[in-house]
Every structure is written in structure tokens, then in C-alpha cells.
Structure 1
């Protein structure tokens, strides 16, 4: 779950996130042969393939019709959710690993989290990686699995995201904010101090996390806006680097110093200027957020999260009417410190930090308000999944 981050991760910038106590489970046993057999508790169909099949990235062979739209060689008809399992095999194979043991498994996500925009794709990919590694007696570090999961999304699925989600899932610890420099891959865990309410079973009880569903579900791979925003950030970086006399530097915004941005930002076209402003202001919010979190100033931390959400709307121009309605309903809810989109605003979930004593009241308020604003979408959400009350959790 990103606190302040988007799009800094894809640009090699500084990000912050944490894991929550909801997620998914993959129950599996080694198959005793190269075959993989998978089913989902949420989605129909059965996936079958072999670990001795060579997997290929997105667009491989499309020109001659030898692969389907997800980049896999076969079969013609396959469960959409199965792409991540094949992607996990692709990632492992791409680094020279030879697997001979498949798995038989059932995957199930927590109520309300499927296709919600809450790092669910990264969690699925990591689950398949860990299962295949376990079945084949592979010893793989969290850092290596972060890279493997990046390969699933960037190369196999063709998605231009960074490493925030998988880093939060693999590196986070209960009660801590995970800070990562996406360029150096360095990270640290930060526990807040001076909170008014102490620990219960080692977990801070002064805040809860609300996850509110809009009822919109869409895979990032089916939304061109996601990759387009990344491309716009790269173009903004290219203009700024050219203007500062460094045209040969990799065009990502983390390679542009803030003072260079301030000097040359007038050279950016309006759309690119908004994208760059979001990146540089988001980087500042990440750093200020670390200070607020460390000192236990949840009010200030929440204000920064809210500012991140507002900039996502105004500068990054993501979101849609239902998501914005949900975001604003969360901000009006009692006890909420701050709120923002999850999934970069391209899928159907918003999150909020809320005073623990007001969490239930806030959840009820948001359900009622959203049903007034978006009655058709709200009617499609199971009542128990409309607003989930969560806590910080352990990583995978």
C-alpha cells in the first residue's frame, strides 16, 4: 500500500509504503512433475502449463500470430488471471533458472481486494514466485524477488510500473513505514514515535487504515493511461535534461535535480509541466512524510497523503468521477487523517489513515455517502467489502 509515492517509483525516486494485514493466500503442493495446475477461488477456469515450456514476453511473436495477447505461446483460450503464473516462470527462466517441478495450487484473495488497485497484481506475482521457488528448492533473496516481480510486470505483461508494490510486500514489517530509494534500491523501516496510544501485541493502535472500494475493476494492463503517464514523465525528463546540457543521461525525472527543474520548467509544455510538478512535489511529500511519521505526527502525515491525492487529480490527471467522489467522501469522514487513490488512480480503490477510535464510524459514513453519490456502482459492492478496516501487517 503506497503512502506517498506515485509516480516516483517508475521514475527512480523516493517512495514510502507499508504492508497491511489483508492479502492473498496460495495453497500449493509440488506436483511431482513439470506440470502446473492452478485454480482461483474468485475467478473461473483452470490453468495448466509446464515449467519446461519456454515463456516469452509481451508482443513476442504477435506479428506472425503464434502467441495470444498476453504474450504466452499457448493456449488459445486461457484464464486471464493465469498470466501472472506464466509471468513468474518467465522471470525465473530469464535469469537462467531451469525448473523441473511444477505445483498444484489454489489462490484466494481477501474479500474486496481482487482487481482493487491495492498492489494485488504484485502480490499475485510474488505468491507464484515463492511457490515455484519452494517447489524447486531455490534459495532466493527478497531483493532478487523484487527484480523477478518487476520482470513479470515490465517485460512479460508490458506494464511500465516501478518496484514500489513488490518492495512493500517483501520488505515491510508490522507497524513500520517502508522507505525506499528506487534508484539505489536502498530501503529502511521506520517506526513512528510518541503516539498517544501504546502497543497492543506489538502493533500501534492509534490508527487504522480504511480501504474503500468504488466498484470499478480494471486490470492495469488494459488501461493505456497508466503507461502513457510514465511516457509523459520520461518526455518531461528528456526536455529538462536537454535544457541543462545533459542529453545523454537516462531520461527519468530522478536524474533531474530539483534546482534544474526550477530553472528550466518553463520549457515544458503544459501537460508535461503538470506531470513533472507532480513528481517533484510528490518527492518532497515523501521526505516530509518520513519526518512526520517518525515523530508520530499523524495529522501532518495525513495532510501530506491528502495533498498527494489532490496532486494526482490536478497534476497527474488520473482518477475518474467515482474515484474522486470516494476520495472526497473519505476526507469528510470523522477521524480521517488523510486519503488518496490506490493503484495510481487507475483502478477502483481509495485508502485513508484514520484515528482508530473513529474507524468504524468513518467506514459507515463513507458507505452511506458513496451510495448517495454513486448508487449504481455502490449497489455492485458486497456490503462487507465496501470499506475494509485494516492494520499495518507483516510482509510476505
Structure 2
């Protein structure tokens, strides 16, 4: 019996993953906002080192998928007056970065994977230039036309242009801005509804990048544009750097667009080269813990992130000048050879020295982490993750007291291989890799200990779910 016979109701086409992780079996993607899974064929559920669900669990996931997908399609059908069968759905998963913290904006090497939580965007082509959007999480309706010329937020506000009444709609306008800047001819808008995993916005999981990617894929699909993942990485960078004025790198969108289930995504942010790293010899299945701090603050309102990017560039400028290299217009640490860093790091001011130390040590941890993952050594992989977390605290100097305490609690939790901050580290959550058999015990331990350490912040947590147990996910796609 095929998985389609066993799981009636799926409408998602099979995909051959032979070109990604060298796995030849087809799989079906089970995708809902709270649960985005990649499920292999029935006989592999017991033997696959990455998936240890029984078949009954998969049937439960099927039911949740059918319910949420149906609800999404009906919502868009009501908005648009179209048949629910015409509704298309974008799945854009959230991402984690086990190693490579805060070095993507300096052209460093990073590692990433997606998780089984993320964004759903149901849509239909509008039949004209109008874009009409609603959100399952936020009030209001966003409406604009694809032939409206979009300008960066800072420039538009400076010129007295009207501000978007629904702030959640800025990413939709940003997607249009990116496509316009890239000379894409859009004649078709969309009518759509977007929904994310409840409570996971502003948590350090790149929900904003997932939203941007979702809007890009929907607009491109509605206009029958053929766009590569690499191109969309650049377009999403334009949303965040060009339209919103953030100074982050390309890690988030790269993970969301390039990841493949069961693999670690490695990316050189200087060359844009990437590869998918298998781990065929994992001795035990693992889970990903997300432990929430209760700190929720938008990246653009915190000067810490952009300040540290500037400090990294200043460190690069000093090192390049000291070595006699020609000064670059925007110097970054990836242009500094490690030998030059070692020879001239004593010339850096203390703060800049810390930023440079984090960059070069984190690059090394990524290299070692890829080796550990490829060999199935989760213990070593976890140690490197924890070392990354410590460097983020001591050298990059991010993380408020609640996050640091959460990181320290995770390190003591049963079965945890390693932990670190997720996202920028100024708010949100920490992530940990944990032995699957001990995941529930670890989650319970973290919940109890964090409530003791930070009772006020613990009260604010994620709708009563202070710790989530997640699986690895797949890349963003249109169903």
C-alpha cells in the first residue's frame, strides 16, 4: 500500500529528493502552520534514524493538515469569491542556525536547517493588479496595487508618504519593492490570507524572513515567473536591507529557501555557495527544543543588532589597514585572512577585538560542526553549539539576562547535546538539540527551572507553551 493510499486526502505531489540529500525514496510533505513535516514512506518510519513516529502519529498529523489546509482554502475562497480548489498555498518554514551565529553579515560560513513550524499563505491570483491580504494573527486588511511604485520605508516616511495602517503588511509591500527593483514585470496581484505558528513571531526563528519569502513566492507564482532559490535569497535580502533598513545578512532566507529535510545546510555567505550535508550515521534520533524567554521586541527597535554589525565592519577596516591591504568601501571580516587577523588583532580596541574573535572562532566552529554532523557525532556537534552560545555572550555580547539564564538552564537539562540563542539574541528563544527519548523530560526541566529563575517573564510565555519540541523541516514551496 502506497503512502497515498494509507494517507487519503493529501493533495501534495511527490518529490524526488535524489538531487539534494542523495536519498532516492520519494516522500510526501505534511504541511500545516503548526506542523510542517516531511514524511517518508511507511516502511521507513521505524528504521529511519531521523523519524521515529508510529503510523498512528502520522495519521494524526494528516488530520491536522487536512483541517488547517481546508480552513485556509475556505478563508481565501470567501475573500475572493473563488472556488476553494483554486486556492494555492505557500509553505515557508521557520529556521534555526545551529552554528554560524552573527557572521552571515560579514560573509562568514553558516549552518542552518528549517523546523516543522512556519508560515502558510493561501492565495489566488486577483485577476487584476490589486493585492488584498488578511492575517489570521493580526487585525486589519492590507490593500495595494502591484503597479504602485514602492519606496524604502525610511525614504517614504521622510517624504511624508502615508504609512501602512496594518504594520504586518509591510513585508508584502517589501516583496513588491524587491521584485520591482529586480525588474520583474508584475501584472497580477493576489487575494490571500497568511497564518503563522501561534506565539512564534518575534521569537528569533526568522518568522519575518519566512513571511517575506512567502509573499515573494505567491507573487511570483501568480505572475508565472520562474525564479531560482538563489534569486529569491537576494530578493528577500532586498526586503530586509533595502525596504526595511535592517543590516542583517542572508542566513535566514537562505535556510528557508535551500534546506532539505534530514540535511544540515552549509552556506558560504561571501560566495553564496551552499551544500546540503547528510548525516547517515546518527546513532539516535534527535529533537530540537525551543525554549522561550518571554522577551518580545522587534529587531528594528533595538539598536544592538545594527551597532554590532557596524563594529564588525570597523574591526575589518582596522585589520585591513594594518596589513596594508587596499581599503574597501564596505570592509567585512570575510576579506581578512586568518593569518592577518592573528598578526594584527592586538591593534584592535577591546570591543572590536571581541567582535573579531567571535567571527573567526565561529567560522571555525561551523567547519568542525559540518564534520561532526556528517559523521553522525551529535555529542561533538552539540558541544560546538554550546561554545557558539558562550561566544555570543562573551564576545558578541548579545543576550539579556533572561536569555542567558535560559541558555544555562538548557545546558543542564537531561539529554541536551548543546544549546545557544536563536536569532539575533536580543529577545526571543534559545534552541537546543536533544536526545529524542529525553526531549519531554528536558522540556519539563527547562519549564520548571525557568519559572523559578524568571517568574515574571515566564508568565508571558507563548500561550502556555514555554518549551516546544520540534522536528527538522524542508524548504519553502508552493503547493
TM-score bucket of the superposed structures, by smaller chain = over 0.9
Matches within 5 A, 1:1-396: 1-63=96-158, 65-67=159-161, 74=162, 76-197=163-284, 206-249=285-328, 250-382=330-462, 384-396=464-476
Give the unaligned 5+ runs of structure 1.
68-73, 198-205
Is the contact between residue 180 and residue 188 of structure 1 (CA under 8 Å) also seen in structure 2?
Answer: yes
Tell me the matched-pair count: 380
**How many angstroms does 1:39 deviate by?**
1.4
**How many angstroms does 1:77 deviate by?**
4.9
**How many angstroms does 1:248 deviate by?**
2.4
Is the contact between residue 439 and residue 469 of structure 2 (CA under 8 Å) also seen in structure 1?
Answer: yes
**How many angstroms does 1:194 deviate by?**
2.1
> Partners of 1:43 and 1:36 in 2: how far apart?
17
Is the contact between residue 111 and residue 385 of structure 1 (CA under 8 Å) also seen in structure 2?
Answer: no
**How many angstroms does 1:58 deviate by?**
3.4
**How many angstroms does 1:223 deviate by?**
1.3
Question: What is aligned with 1:203?
Answer: none
**How many angstroms does 1:108 deviate by?**
0.9
> Partners of 2:187 and 2:295 in 1: how far apart?
39
> Partners of 1:154 and 1:77 in 2: how far apart?
18
Q: Any idea what SS the aligned residue of 1:344 has?
A: coil
> Partners of 2:215 and 2:123 in 1: how far apart?
10
For normalisation by structure 2, the TM-score amounts to 0.78
Is the contact between residue 112 and residue 386 of structure 1 (CA under 8 Å) also seen in structure 2?
Answer: no
Question: What is aligned with 2:34?
Answer: none
> Partners of 2:391 and 2:224 in 1: how far apart?
45
* Segments of 4+ moved more than 2 angstroms: 247-250, 382-385
> Partners of 2:164 and 2:254 in 1: how far apart?
32
State the Cα RMSD in Å.
1.2
> Partners of 1:143 and 1:357 in 2: how far apart?
37
Whose radius of gyration is greater, 1 or 2? 2
